[in-house]
Amino acid sequence: MSNSNGVRSILMVGVGGQGIIRASDILSAVLMKSGFDVKKSEVHGMAQRGGCVSSHVRYGKKVYSPLTRKGDVDVMLSFEKLETLRYLDYMRSSGVIIINEEEIYPPSVNLGEAPYPHNIEEIIRKYFNDIHFLNATKLALKEGDRRIANTIMLGALSPYLDIELDTWEDVFRTDFPPNVAEKNFSVFKMVRNQFSENKNLIMQ
């Protein structure tokens, strides 16, 4: 994959309250620790109140803009199925899309005034080859804590970044209290291993 300035862009999207900002902070810390210049920016109105959230993380030798232009995102980490569609035009055609299968209904769907599109996977497959689904929310509930879903998403992303497992571990251990760090890192490793098979690294 190429980018004119050698800068990579990761876009995390979803709904306020899903832990996207926390996840993008962890990712940024990992990238910074690996020696990259990093910039990060969220686009949200009042995120805590159920609106859309998107977080741009950009890294490379020297990063200027914290926002990615449309068509330039290398990996999209989508925390909610429908939100994937909202940001498709940010993806480069060869980009990777990782999607959490959770569906969170917008107010108009809850009120029965608009349908929640049911063929999201089919639509995305028309335009992109490298797409992957997982149910991070279900897996997190199975692990006993809904809040761990964002760590699971990072685990699915990590095989696409050439970053040492130790660096991830360091960041988990500095960013969380000890027992929470342990749990998060072990779940992270498990998902990372699952996703490591048959994946091409995007960052050499």
Partner 1 sequence: MKVFMSGNEAIARGAYECGVTFASGYPGTPSTEVIEEFSKYDGVYAEWSPNEKVAMEVGIGAALAGARALVVMKHVGVNVAADPLFTVSYTGTNGGLVIMTADDPSMHSSQNEQDNRNYARFAKIPMLEPSDSQEAKDYIGLAFDISEAFDTPVFLRTTTRVSHSKSIVKLGEPAPREDRTEIRYNPDKYVMVPAKARARRVEVEKRMIRLKEYAETFSENRIEMNDPDTGIITAGMTYNYAKDIYPDYSYLKLGMVYPLPAELIKEFASKVKKLFVIEELDPFLEEQIRSLGIEVTGKIIFPYTNEFDPGIIEAAMAGSSSESRQFSLPPIPARPPNLCPGCPHRGLFYVLGKFDCFVTGDIGCYTLSFMKPLEGLDSCVCMGASIGMAHGMSKALKEKGKGRVVAVIGDSTFIHSGITSLLNLAYNKSHAVVIICDNRTTAMTGMQEHPATGYTLQGDIAAQLDLVELGKTLGIRNVHVVDPFDMKTTRKIIKEELSTEGPSLIISQGPCVLLKKERKRKKKPLMIDTEKCTGCKLCLGLGCPPIAWKRFEDMKDITIPKKRKNQEGIAVIDTALCNGCNLCLQLCKAGAIMEVSGNE
Residues that bind partner 1 in the complex, under the rule CB under 8 A: 5, 7, 15-16, 25, 28-29, 32, 37-52, 63-71, 82-83, 85-86, 88-89, 93, 105-112, 114, 116-117, 119, 123, 127, 146
Give min distance, CB of 111 to partner 1, in A. Answer: 6
Of residues 7 and 159, the one with the C-beta less far from partner 1: 7
The nearest distance, CB 185 to partner 1, in angstroms, is 20
Strand, coil or helix: 198: coil
Whichever of 68 and 195 has its CB closer to partner 1, that residue is 68
Residue closer to partner 1 (CB basis): 118 or 198: 118
Rounded to a whole number of angstroms, the distance between the first and last alpha carbons of the chain is 10
Q: Name which of 102 and 155 has its Cβ closer to partner 1.
A: 102
Least distance between partner 1 and beta carbon 54 (Å): 11
User: What are all long-range contacts of 100-103, with beta carbons under 8 Å and residues at least 24 apart?
Assistant: 100/14, 100/134, 100/135, 100/136, 100/137, 100/149, 100/153, 101/133, 101/134, 101/135, 101/136, 101/137, 101/138, 102/135, 102/136, 102/137, 102/138, 102/149
- Measured from the CB of residue 49, what is the shortest distance to partner 1 in angstroms? 4
Comparison of 105 and 193: residue with beta carbon closer to partner 1 = 105
Q: What is the dihedral of CA 57, 157, 165, 201, to 10 degrees?
A: -90
Q: Report the nearest approach of partner 1 to the CB of residue 150 (Å).
A: 16
Closest CA to 149 of 12, 19, 28, 14: 19
